[in-house]
Amino acid sequence: MAQEEKKAEKGEKAEKAGEKAEKAKAEKIKGDVGLLDTEKNYMILVTKEGKLITLDFDQKTKPTMLEEKDVKMSDVGLGSSADVEYVTKGEQKLVTKMEFRPAKGE
């Protein structure tokens, strides 16, 4: 009986961990970089529909230029076409992954 209780307890912990993981599920959006502030660590992405989405980033955010080389957020230019993955934490949308194509002329 004690073993069954331990199994049930482990199952409950696994369910709770799964619930936490679901809450932080990454979402994907595409658009052009309209603003990039590397001092305040946020950016605004403009979707094809013209919607402005404010996204935050931190030192863990790893943007990748589609030439497959690692770059810094400061290397992302305005007007770049970006595919962004982010998680919502409260009212903050935190970028977890970003791929971009530099704007023409860069």
Higher pLDDT, 18 or 84: 84
φ and ψ at residue 13, rounded to 5 degrees: -65, -40
The torsion region of residue 105 among left (phi > 0), alpha (psi -120 to 50) and beta comes to left
pLDDT of 50 > 90? The answer is yes
CATH of domain 26-101: 2.40.50.320
Per-domain boundaries in the chain = 26-101
pLDDT (tens digit per residue) in 55-106: 999 989 988 876 667 788 888 888 888 889 999 999 999 999 888 888 876 5
Residue 77: per-residue pLDDT: 85
Q: How far is CA 82 from CA 26, 52, 98, in A?
A: 16, 13, 7
64 φ/ψ angles, rounded to the nearest 5 degrees: -130, 120
